[in-house]
Amino acid sequence: MSSNHDPNCIFCKIAEGKIPSKKVYEDEEVLAFHDIHPWAPVHFLLIPKRHIVSMAHVQDGDAPLLGKIMALVPKLAQQEGCRPYPEGGFRVVTNTGADGGQEVPHLHFHVIGGPRPWLKG
């Protein structure tokens, strides 16, 4: 278990429950929690619990995990208050590396939605 986590990684600490978060969803492999600085009425992060640094580090064997995360997006977006498509909807963002604007080096998918205006985007 510990080999799946980076002891210096803030999202690993959240995944392990060492740092509290406002959880949206959790299972053995995946955690979703509210972003601490939301841009919009709905803004949560979906992460693999295992420490994957970024989308640039994803390998073929990660496909089932990523597929599971993508399939969770519409369910959790609706659960968290995003209005139905097409009037509502949501945005899914994965910043990757310095040029991509990634600040936390643990793969995460922002799910952002709710009525506009938003603070960003």
> Do 104 and 21 contact (CB within 8 A), yes or no?
no
20 binds ligand 5GP (CB under 6 A): no
> Do 76 and 24 contact (CB within 8 A), yes or no?
yes
Q: Which does 51 bind (CB under 5 to 8 A by kind): ligand 5GP, Zn ion, none?
A: Zn ion
Interface with ligand 5GP by CB under 6 A: which range of 23-31, 60-68, 75-83, 98-106? 98-106
CA distance 46 to 33: 7
Write the single-letter amino acid at 100: G
Rg (the chain; Cα; Å)? 14
- Compute the least distance from the CB of residue 116 to ligand 5GP, in Å: 18
- Please pick, from the candidates 43, 49, 51, 108, the single residue that binds Zn ion as defined by CB under 5 A: 51
16 binds Zn ion (CB under 5 A): no
103 binds ligand 5GP (CB under 6 A): yes
Tell me whether residue 33 or residue 90 sits nearer to ligand 5GP (CB atom).
33
Per the residue annotation, which of 5, 43, 106, 108 is the catalytic one? 108
CA dist 94 → 38, 81, 87, 97, 103 (Å): 15, 21, 23, 10, 11
- Please pick, from the candidates 12, 15, 33, 90, the single residue that binds ligand 5GP as defined by CB under 6 A: 33
Contacts of 110 (CB under 8 A, 6+ apart): 35, 43, 44, 45, 91, 92, 93, 94, 95
Residues that bind ligand 5GP (CB under 6 A): 10, 19, 21, 33-37, 95, 101-104
